[in-house]
Structure 1
Amino acid sequence: MNVFNYTTPKHGEMFTILLEHKNIRINRIVSSNDSEQIEYIQEEDEWVVVLEGKATLLLESEEKTLFKGDTLLIPAQTPHKVLKTEQGTLWLAVHIY
């Protein structure tokens, strides 16, 4: 599967599992510019990289803007949410259990 072959959703985000193996899951995430601001508190660590576009996240109480090529490690149990994204933002999210 080529991570760059994707359709941008009109609303929200589209998640595609690319790999699940032992203690790792890799998701491709494609974001619209109309996303719900859902707070996540996950049991696993999550490392994300923005491949295309731009996204602003709220990590605990700090805003972080990620541009193409930026990465971020979100430790387990860290409250976070996506505040805004550019239409067509493409990410990879690696969940480490």
Structure 2
Amino acid sequence: MSCNLFHELPEIDRGEAFAELLRCRNVRIERILSSDRPEGALYDQFQDEWVCLLQGEAELWIAGETVILRSGDYRFIPAGTPHRVTKTSTEPRCLWLAVHIHGRSTDA
């Protein structure tokens, strides 16, 4: 079965919508769709995260540094690094692919 990251995107007014695409051993992959009004939640995760902005433009705060991402840009965020999304584009909406790498298996 094949799927498409751009199909069936939800309508959201605020924040982000998360969809888990794959969970295998210590890796979890998710699609994230951002509204143009991010909630600015502070993330400080136990797992490493590699994130790629597939479409749109975004501004992130990562451990005191402001980072601008445009379509195709990616960033590795080590575990324990505080970060948040501070700005996101309206058109196109920001669509992300996030790969979470846990220190141990997360299979149930």
Name the TM tier (shorter chain): over 0.9
Q: Which runs of 5+ in 2 are unaligned?
A: 103-108
Q: Does 1:4 align with 2:9?
A: no
The runs of 4+ residues in structure 1 deviating greater than 6 Å are: none
Q: Report the Cα offset of residue 8 of structure 1.
A: 3.9
TM-score, scaled relative to structure 2: 0.87
Residues in 2 aligned to 1:10 and 1:75: alpha-carbon distance in whole angstroms: 29
1:31-58 deviation per Cα after TM superposition (whole angstroms, max 9, x unaligned): 0111111110000000000000011100
- Greater Rg, structure 1 or structure 2? 2
RMSD: 0.8
Structure 1: segments with no counterpart, 5+ residues = none
Equivalent in the alignment of 1:73: 76
- Map of 1:15 onto structure 2: 18
Figure out how many residues of one structure are paired with residues of the other and give that number: 97
Percent of matched pairs sharing the same residue? 46
Whichever structure has more strand as a proportion of its residues is 1
> Which of 19, 25, 44 is the aligned partner of 1:41?
44
**Does 1:92 find its partner at 2:94?**
no
Return the alpha-carbon distance in structure 2 between the equivalents of residues 19 and 77 of structure 1. Answer: 23
1:90 is aligned with what amino acid? L
TM value normalised by structure 1: 0.96
By how many angstroms is 1:9 displaced? 1.2
Report the residue type matching 2:72 in the other structure. G
Give how far 1:2 is off: 1.0
The 3-state SS of whatever aligns with 2:49 is strand
For residue 60 of structure 2, what is the aligned residue in structure 1? 57
